[in-house]
Amino acid sequence: MSDPMDALAPEHRRLRIGDAWRDAAGGATFAVEDPATGKTIAEVADAGVGDGLAALDAATGAMAEWAGTPPRKRSELLTATYRALTERSDEVARLITLEMGKPLAEARAEVAYGAEFFRWFAEEAVRVEGRYSTAPTGGYRILTVPKPVGPCVFVTPWNFPLAMGARKIAPALAAGCTTITKPAAQTPLTMLLLARIMEEAGVPAGVVNVVTTKRAGEVVSALLADSRTRKLSFTGSTEVGRVLLRQAADNVLRTSMELGGNAALIVCADADLDVALDGAMVAKMRNIGESCVAANRIYVEEPVREEFTARFAERMGALSMGHGLDDGVDVGALIDEASVTKIDKLVADAVDRGARVLVGGRRPDGPGHFYPPTVLVDVPGDALMLGAEIFGPVAPIMGFTSDNEVMAKANDTEYGLVGYVFTGDLQRALRFTEGLATGMLGVNRGLISDPSAPFGGVKQSGIGKEGSHEGILEYLDLTYAAIDLP
Ligand code: NAP
């Protein structure tokens, strides 16, 4: 089988700035690792502040022409990107797995998900509209004109190396904005491949710029301080999000912030347990649990707690762990050693406080950053893992006896990204929908991510929406004209 690195030629493992693929000004590079082996798979350019600002020069230079490009033409370029990603799905997926660790089947699903943002926003690009109305007092008319916000800076995480960029780049281009993306240092290759695919699809130079760097703090803050930047969209931790929001404030930037989560998954006694088990497996184990929407806390109503727990533990214990590119692997490597150590500590803390391990719970010896699927019960309310993002394949299961009690526990977090409820009672589902303080809710479903739905959190999980019609509005300013007409 071919080397996944063949997808990205050495000349494209460099900065994408304007019409060039070029080295960082000082020639610096940094290594990208396969997390399943710890081996270096590539060197990419390590941009400095000057390189970042060169990308902003390119994005600013391309802005007027791109904004003035007919929406149908922009739409066609997004469709061409969708088609290319779909046709090259296997190639892109293998690169994702190599640099990020997820099993190949999940990487293919990410490519399908990421590609769909291009298809969805190709359809939205031609439906940007304003309004025309008569002022209530008469005498003049009100006209609203949507306009692209301007050059956008995107900062993306490592857990979905393609999709987290796609869901920013696609709506921005549809709205007529140009972009600079700074991918996570651990997974820059997929974003470079996307930029190459978009270049081949015919997207003009300067519209999609990619700056890889190990110096995120310096490079991003210089971009956010420059008055030519008009928008920041960030996906990552709440901790870094707060820092970037402060920087964006100095330049009064439009911001979209997709931050951390601490999802509660609630299984009611009246749920179809087969559906709940399937949903819980997806909500917990998609992306090896390295997902902002991962079920972090599982609450099961007492009458079905034992049965659910036994069946869930059996399914978790049957998963196979290994290199994501190998056949039959369900659980790939975690992103790095720090991640494994953090999870190990969270499990040890829960056990110290009285939790019992039903499955997993011990990191394996050997190379790579692996942690096995783990199920914990009797987890006390003060265990650290109930308040932190676990970001791995560990499931704490707790019981509950009343809806008010479980709702209060679910809401007892600074986060408000997503929740999951499994019940056969529609009224109960609606009460949870109204009572849970989250931006999204899966009802009898463990998967909510969908390019045609507004993804985003409340509280400290973020600001703004990605996907759906709302997704393009994040990239549009509105000018209102009062037109005298006595
Ligand atoms: P992270 O540490 O916050 O990093 C995210 C991005 O920010 C990376 O590109 C990182 O660059 C960059 N960054 C770090 N410090 C920075 C600074 N001081 N200034 C500018 N940029 C900086 O998050 P992560 O570990 O990659 O991703 C996991 C987090 O993302 C979790 O909290 C997860 O919940 C969240 N997430 C949220 C969503 C959502 O839609 N709500 C989706 C996916 C993930 P480096 O790689 O160079 O550090």
Smallest CA separation from ligand 1 atom 22, residue: 216
Catalytic residue IDs:
258, 292
- 201 Cβ contact list (under 8 Å, min separation 6): 77, 80, 81, 84
CB neighbours of 472 closer than 8 A, spacing ≥ 6?
Answer: 121, 124, 125, 128, 171, 174, 175
Pocket test for ligand 1, best of 237, 242, 465 (most atoms within 8 A of CB): 237
Place of tokens 């987890």: 379
Task: Report which protein residue has its CA nearest ligand 1's atom 40.
Answer: 258
CA dihedral of 424, 425, 429, 434, whole degrees rounded to 10: -170
Listed in sequence order, the DSSP H helices in 302-359 are: 302-317, 337-352
Closest CA to ligand 1's atom 31: 237
Contact present, 180 and 52 (Cβ < 8 Å): yes
Q: Does the CB atom of residue 34 touch ligand 1 within 6 A?
A: no
* CA-closest residue to ligand 1 atom 36: 236
CB 216 less than 6 A from any atom of ligand 1: yes
- Buried-exposed string 432-469: b where 16+ CB fall within 10 A, e elsewhere: beeebbbbbbbbbebebbebebbbbbebbbbbbbbbbe
Structure tokens at 384: 């650290």
Per-residue pLDDT of the chain (486 residues; tens, 9 = 90+): 689 999 999 999 999 999 999 999 999 999 999 999 999 999 999 999 999 999 999 999 999 999 999 999 999 999 999 999 999 999 999 999 999 999 999 999 999 999 999 999 999 999 999 999 999 999 999 999 999 999 999 999 999 999 999 999 999 999 999 999 999 999 999 999 999 999 999 999 999 999 999 999 999 999 999 999 999 999 999 999 999 999 999 999 999 999 999 999 999 999 999 999 999 999 999 999 999 999 999 999 999 999 999 999 999 999 999 999 999 999 999 999 999 999 999 999 999 999 999 999 999 998 999 999 999 999 999 999 999 999 999 999 999 999 999 999 999 999 999 999 999 999 999 999 999 999 999 999 999 999 999 999 999 999 999 999 999 999 999 999 999 999
Q: For the CA atoms of 59, 64, 67, 69, what is the dihedral angle to 10 degrees?
A: -110
Tell me the CA–centroid distance for residue 428 and ligand 1, in Å: 35
C-alpha of residue 145 to centroid of ligand 1, in Å: 34
User: Model's pTM, two decimal places?
Assistant: 0.98
Look at residues 157, 159, 189, 158 and name the one whose alpha carbon lies nearest to residue 6. Answer: 189
Any atom of ligand 1 within 6 Å of the Cβ of 184: yes
Q: Is the CB of 157 under 6 A from ligand 1?
A: yes
Q: Would strands 40-45 and 29-33 be described as parallel, antiparallel, or unpaired?
A: antiparallel
